[in-house]
Amino acid sequence: MLSRSRRESGSPGEPRGSERERGSVTAEFAVALPVALVCLGLGVGAVQAGGQQLRLADAAAVDARLLGRGDPPVASAVSGLEAERVIDRRSGMVCVTMTAHSAVVGLGAAGLRISARACAVDEARAESGGTG
């Protein structure tokens, strides 16, 4: 009975509450859904970029250790990464910096590059008596 008296208390010709709010949920959903999808896309992209950075760091560390032992670097070929490798030897250390375009859809085309650097003791030069 209480709800009936509320409905009847409005002025004549004024739409009832449910008719006034009709479609508001659809409008809110239409705004919230794209925002949620953008947030989801950014989250997935961040995870992909982080994973790519970890793969680059692992490849750089493997190559630095191989070069430190005097072996040829092969990590980027084995891991399937298309990355640029820069080798720097100084002060008894060998450092490898690997840089690649982002694999995240859209960010690689935008010019975002991901890089990682790893260093190891240059045992090959230390044993041969070479200087950095």
Residue 15 lies in a domain: no
Q: Give me the domain span that covers residue 77.
A: 23-128
What angle (nearest 5°) sits at the alpha carbon of residue 44, between those of residues 41 and 48?
A: 135
Residue 11 lies in a domain: no
pTM for the whole thing?
A: 0.68
Q: C-alpha distances in angstroms, 105 versus 34, 71, 80, 99, 110?
A: 18, 35, 18, 17, 9
Number of domains composing the chain = 1
Please give the chain's pLDDT, 132 residues, in tens: 455 555 555 566 655 556 666 667 788 888 899 999 999 988 888 898 899 899 999 999 999 999 999 998 887 676 777 889 999 999 899 999 999 888 887 776 677 889 999 999 998 776 666 654
Ranges of beta strands (E only) in the chain are 84-90, 93-101, 113-121
